[in-house]
Amino acid sequence: MRALILATTLLLPGTAMTPSAPATASRLEPLRLGRLQVWKLQDGRLSLAVSLLKGLDPAEARRMLGGRDAADTPVNAFLVRMPGHTVLVDTGMGKDPEEDSGHLEAQLAAAGVAPADIDLVLITHEHFDHIGGLVKADGSRTFPRAVLRVARREHAFWTEDPSRLPERLRDRAPKLKALFETYGKAGAFRPFEDGEELAPGLRALPAHGHTGGHTVYAFTSEGRELWCIGDLIHFGAVQFQHPEAGVAFDLDGDRAVKVRQELFREAAHRQVALAGAHLPQIVRIAPKGTGYEAVPVP
């Protein structure tokens, strides 16, 4: 099954791994928002080349990255304890001995949580760096008590009609079907509709553009909000200030930009805490010029 997961990898032009591993403290402390407890769990790292950015002068992007040609970028999952549920949003890249990845289980342990404690796994979209930790090396479920949920539109995009996919991605369909069927055979795979309430205080917000059914997960507790935004943003040092800048691997670049701008406006207005799969910290944003300033949530 490990070979299956690696075979589903969407190879991105200008993407390479870096050798550094995320530091794992003996104990990770949560961010508290109302009755929510939230942990950022770094599974690995990617180096994203400036050339992936679209709609922005490359010289300006390099300036914003301190003169570098690439951004050292985390790959995060998020653990959320809420009333009635222990939730994991995305599962990282999974373990590959040749790459800096597969730190999710150690990060969970540092948060004091075992895989069997998780009862709900939410997938923002079906790119490799979000689904790689779903199964173990022996092909069994990493999270044996969890129900796995993803937008029906997202799963259908990848699996129902491979002819709609770019030719280089069509072989992903049967591999993704097999991966998700690991949970399906146990009655633990439940796709959902756009905008569905998945639990009290947890709603799926459609954020299509990066992929056909990319989803943001909105948690609410005692007037506080957390959005797990997946790949709504990749280059935090650039795209907060320039939300009009896209990335080369957005399925629908124009739509991805529009959705990012709309959700950023709403998040700034409501002071939502934003947890991004490729952001180094959980942040809140405030308008600044034509873009936004991101401030870490203490």
Number of separate domains in the chain: 1
Evaluate whether residue 165 is within a structural domain: yes
pLDDT of residue 22: 53
Evaluate whether residue 27 is within a structural domain: no
**Burial (0-12, 13-18, 19+ Cβ within 10 Å), 195:** exposed
pLDDT of residue 66: 96
pLDDT of residue 25: 52
| Contact (CB, 8 A) for 18 and 72 | yes
Evaluate whether residue 278 is within a structural domain: yes
Evaluate whether residue 223 is within a structural domain: yes
| 10-27: average pLDDT | 48
Question: 56: domain CATH number?
Answer: 3.60.15.10
Question: pLDDT, tens digit, for every residue of 234-275?
Answer: 999 999 999 999 999 999 999 999 999 999 999 999 999 999
Q: Is the pLDDT of residue 7 over 80?
A: no
Indicate the average pLDDT of the chain: 91
The encoded tokens of residue 295 equal 């401030």
Evaluate whether residue 25 is within a structural domain: no
pLDDT of residue 24: 53
| 130-135: average pLDDT | 96
Evaluate whether residue 135 is within a structural domain: yes
Evaluate whether residue 123 is within a structural domain: yes
pLDDT of residue 6: 37
Q: 298 Cβ partners below 8 Å, 6+ apart?
A: none
Question: pLDDT, tens digit, for every residue of 139-198?
Answer: 999 999 999 999 999 999 899 887 777 787 788 888 899 999 999 999 999 999 999 999
Using a cut of 0.75, tell me whether the model's pTM lies above it. yes
| 49-58: average pLDDT | 96
| 127-132: average pLDDT | 95
Is the pLDDT higher at 1 or at 280? 280
Evaluate whether residue 26 is within a structural domain: no
pLDDT band for position 64 (50/70/90)? Answer: very high
**What is the extent of the structural domain holding 9?**
2-20+32-296
